[in-house]
Amino acid sequence: MPVVTAAAVPAEAKPITPAPATNLVSKQDSPEVSARSQRQFDVQDVVASRLAATEIWLSQRAETTYSIQLLGTDNAQQLKNHLNQLSKFVEINDVFVYRTLAKQRPSLTVLYGSFNDRRAALDALARLPAQLKTHQPILRTVRGIRAEIAQHQPS
């Protein structure tokens, strides 16, 4: 699966506010360095968090629910960088990540949003900032995502 990026970003979507730092950085660091270090720490945890949230999301949504596929990557560091960038434009709790195969290699796919119908997903896709359209986002259904995951489960 090539890197595919985009996200359905409602016009009213707000960037997330990073959690306050909790003694992760020494007091000698400048506020700018402390904020950067905290953000990187959060990004590392967010991958596992989004994988778990995606399992729950997929188990609770109707097969006809739509989402916007933003990207796919086989590089964990690249994924962390993308999630850090995404969090500047969308609520990270609306971002989902699942494991799959692309070109016979393990890959992680990133989705944005949960929409009850195609029209709502298309409207959100149209409102995405240009930075989130660089990887040509596509619409996906929960049915298709579940089928893709099942296809790549070990026998």
Q: What is the mean pLDDT of residues 63-82?
A: 92
If you average pLDDT over every residue of the chain, what do you get? 77
Please check the confidence at residue 154 and state whether its pLDDT lies above 90: no
pTM for the structure as a whole: 0.71
Least confident of 75-79, 93-97, 146-150: 75-79
Phi and psi torsions of 63, nearest 5°: -60, -25
pLDDT 10s digits, 6-23? 333 333 333 333 333 222
- CATH number, span 32-151: 3.30.70.1070
3-state secondary structure the chain: CCCCCCCCCCCCCCCCCCCCCCCCCCCCCCHHHHHHHHHHHHHHHHHHHHHHHHHHHHHHCCCCCEEEEEEEECCHHHHHHHHHHHCCCCCHHHEEEEEEEECCEEEEEEEEEEECCHHHHHHHHHCCCHHHCCCCCEEEEHHHHHHHHHHCCCC
- pLDDT band for position 76 (cuts 50, 70, 90): confident
Q: In angstroms, what CA-CA distances link 20 with 27, 31, 92? A: 14, 12, 16
Return the pLDDT at 155: 59
Q: What is the mean pLDDT of residues 97-106?
A: 88
Please check the confidence at residue 38 and state whether its pLDDT lies above 50: no
